[in-house]
Amino acid sequence: MKVPEQGGEASASNIVLIGMPGAGKSTVGVILAKQASLGFVDTDVLIQACEGRSLQSIIDSQGYMALRQIEERILLDLECRGHVIATGGSAVYSQAAMAHLARGGCIVFLDIDLATLESRALDLGRRGIAKHPDQSFAELFDERRRLYVAYADVTVDCRGLAHDTICTEILDRLGLQR
């Protein structure tokens, strides 16, 4: 899937956001793209557009592993430069997809604690989270956090930070002017 290239100072590379569902990847991604004069891609939206149905619908009809396979295919097909890319929370299960994303830019982990995620009252039954049906959110958090840390070029501790502050932190850490 070819996405038009964007101008701006960081046009040679992407900023790839990873993290748990509810960490703020999509919201931070939109603000960050605006501040950095970059394009924005939300891979969950790409999946839904390509499949013509919601993430939860895919899980309900085909299972969570099917969603992970579709996500991997979409990520491997994604070709863009000069974008902020908000990935789905399960992107880190695909070593090939993460290597592809890393070749095109910097991987930024939006690190947020479990208590904050749980306080955001995520509707887990409708959100389309690719997890084993018997797995608790806390177990999923523990499993994925190790992967996020392993793939991240930059980790931003988002606890108690406003979205604008998180964006400023990312831009400062990447040496990009606002």
Helix and strand counts by DSSP (H, E) for the chain: 8, 5
Q: Quick: pLDDT tens for 83-140.
A: 999 999 999 999 999 999 999 999 999 999 998 888 765 655 555 677 777 888 899 9
| CA–CA separation, 115 and 107 (whole Å) | 24
Q: Is 82 domain-assigned?
A: yes
* Radius of gyration of the CA atoms of the chain, in A: 15
What is the number of structural domains in the chain? 1
User: Do the beta carbons of residue 36 and residue 10 sit within 8 Å?
Assistant: yes
Range of the domain at 118: 14-174
Q: Quick: pLDDT tens for 6-55.
A: 444 444 589 999 999 889 999 999 999 999 999 999 999 999 999 999 99
Q: CB-based contacts of 117: which residues, under 8 Å, 6+ apart?
A: 20, 21, 22, 23, 137, 141
Instruction: Provide the whole-model pTM.
Output: 0.90
Q: Is 9 domain-assigned?
A: no
Q: Is 42 domain-assigned?
A: yes
How many residues does the structure list for the chain? 178
User: Shortest CA distance to 15 belongs to which of 27, 3, 29, 26?
Assistant: 29
Q: CB-based contacts of 106: which residues, under 8 Å, 6+ apart?
A: 13, 14, 15, 16, 153, 154, 174
Q: 77 pLDDT exceeds 50?
A: yes
| Residue 12 one-letter amino acid | A
CATH of the domain at 39: 3.40.50.300
Q: Is 3 domain-assigned?
A: no
pLDDT of residue 176: 84
Q: CB-based contacts of 126: which residues, under 8 Å, 6+ apart?
A: 56
Q: What 8-state DSSP symbol labels residue 125? A: T
